[in-house]
Chain A
Amino acid sequence: MKYIIVGGGNSVYYLSRSLTSKGHHITIINRNHNECTHLARKLKAVIINSDASNKKILEQAGASSADAIFVITLNDHDNLVICQLSQTIFNIPKIFTLVDDPDNEFIFNQLGVEKVLSINRILTSLIEEKTGYDDVTNLLSLAEGKVNFTKVKLTPASPILNKNLSDISMPENTLIAVIIRNVNPIIPRGSTTLQADDQLIVLNRPTEHSKVIRLLTGEK
């Protein structure tokens, strides 16, 4: 496979090292001359020392025949323009990028860039989950944000305690996947009842999210 990687830092190096060892053909575009020199010494890859938000440079990097491009510079605005050029001008089949500002996952999706990940958002939700301060934690989202994984801790105020799951009318497109009770995971069935301090791992579509949370927590 032919991959283009745009950006710098250790993540570009490790990603390229892993991909070249699997026999893939890598071209790296990086604006920093020193970094390019280091990468060229350590990797079996084509290194282009230039700005990738330019049609000619992308063309030179083989964008018209690339199988995928990974755009992981540290600037969200550069990543956006590079992804959009890759998409609209070169039709690269797989485009993946990172964003710094978690809000930009949504912004990029809206502007036509679908495969976007914010390390900061993942980190934030991981930390929130580990510290367990909130009753509701967004764990992750899948399928370009169309499926949410949420952890909900039931408080004594929850209106659905001591009921059979089958008697609770859940919103559509919602599933209680796992119940964690005193550290033990339970795969729920219709006859399972919920207790205070249970932690539920819930799968749902974002459209039903607030409805589900209201149902489980009893909060308005």
Chain B
Amino acid sequence: MTKRSLYALVLGCSRLGAFLANRLSEKGHSVVVIDEDEASFLLLDRNFSGFKIEGNPVETAVLHQAKIHKADIVIATTRDDNINIMCAQIARNIFKVPRVISRIFDPSLNDFNLLKDIETICPTTLTGDLMIKTILDEDKDIQ
């Protein structure tokens, strides 16, 4: 099976956003990164071959400019949960983007039932679970 090149929209050039944009671009996918702060694009690799848009990702006009209706995947990785939640819903429910992934730090917002067609990843519970596992496994060794 030949792998198809994806059109990926990364919202927020945070550490995570830049990481994803760099990796996806390296693997030959078309990537567009949107961030309000131009300086955040410094996190992108020198050979990043995608596009950068300086703008607010919750602004529909900016999403139009990024051709969101053509995106195969939208990944919301700004530092603000509410921005990610809003962008993810716009991408999924209004522009019908097939795959939408959103980072949500607050575990209590993560099970928000409006996000049903959106894949959410909560770094807090992921890290927390890992830490608990490490702590308890360590304990087992001691005993």
Whether A81 contacts B82 by the Cβ 8 Å rule is: yes
Complex-state Cα separation, A85 to B93, whole angstroms: 17
Whether B60 contacts A103 by the Cβ 8 Å rule is: yes
A54 to chain B, nearest CB (A): 6
SS class of chain A's interface: helix, strand, loop or mixed? helix
Which residue of the partner chain A has the closest CB to B56?
Answer: A101
Whether B106 contacts A54 by the Cβ 8 Å rule is: yes
Complex-state Cα separation, A111 to B112, whole angstroms: 14
- The residue in B58, B94, B108 that gathers the most chain A C-beta atoms within 10 A of its C-beta is B58
B102 to chain A, nearest CB (A): 12
B34 to chain A, nearest CB (A): 14
Which A residues are in CB contact (< 8 Å) with B108? 54-56
B105-143 residues with Cβ-Cβ distance < 8 A to A are: 106, 108-109, 112-114
Whether A53 contacts B61 by the Cβ 8 Å rule is: no
| Chain B 26-61: CB-based contact to A (< 8 A → 1; otherwise 0) | 000000000000000000000000000000001111
Whether A88 contacts B114 by the Cβ 8 Å rule is: yes
| Chain A 102-124: CB-based contact to B (< 8 A → 1; otherwise 0) | 01100100111000000000000
B89 at the A interface (CB under 8 A):
yes
Which A residues are in CB contact (< 8 Å) with B94? 107, 110-111
Given A103-B59, A104-B60, A107-B94, does the pair A80, B82 have CB atoms closer than 8 Å?
yes
Complex-state Cα separation, A110 to B94, whole angstroms: 7
Q: Residue B85 contacts which of A81, A88, A107 (CB distance < 8 angstroms)? A: A81
A75 to chain B, nearest CB (A): 7
Given A76-B58, A107-B60, A110-B94, does the pair A53, B81 have CB atoms closer than 8 Å?
yes
- A residues with a Cβ closer than 8 A to B are 53-56, 75-78, 80-81, 84-85, 88, 101, 103-104, 107, 110-112
Q: Can you list 24 A-B pairs, Cβ within 8 angstroms, ordered by A?
A: A53-B82, A53-B109, A54-B106, A54-B109, A56-B108, A77-B82, A77-B87, A78-B82, A80-B82, A80-B89, A81-B81, A81-B86, A85-B112, A88-B112, A101-B59, A101-B60, A103-B59, A103-B60, A103-B61, A104-B60, A110-B93, A110-B94, A111-B93, A111-B114
Given A54-B108, A80-B89; 16 other pairs, CB 8 A cutoff? A53-B109, A54-B106, A56-B108, A75-B82, A76-B86, A77-B80, A77-B82, A77-B85, A88-B112, A88-B113, A88-B114, A101-B58, A103-B61, A104-B60, A107-B94, A111-B89
- B residues with a Cβ closer than 8 A to A are 58-61, 80-83, 85-87, 89-90, 93-94, 106, 108-109, 112-114
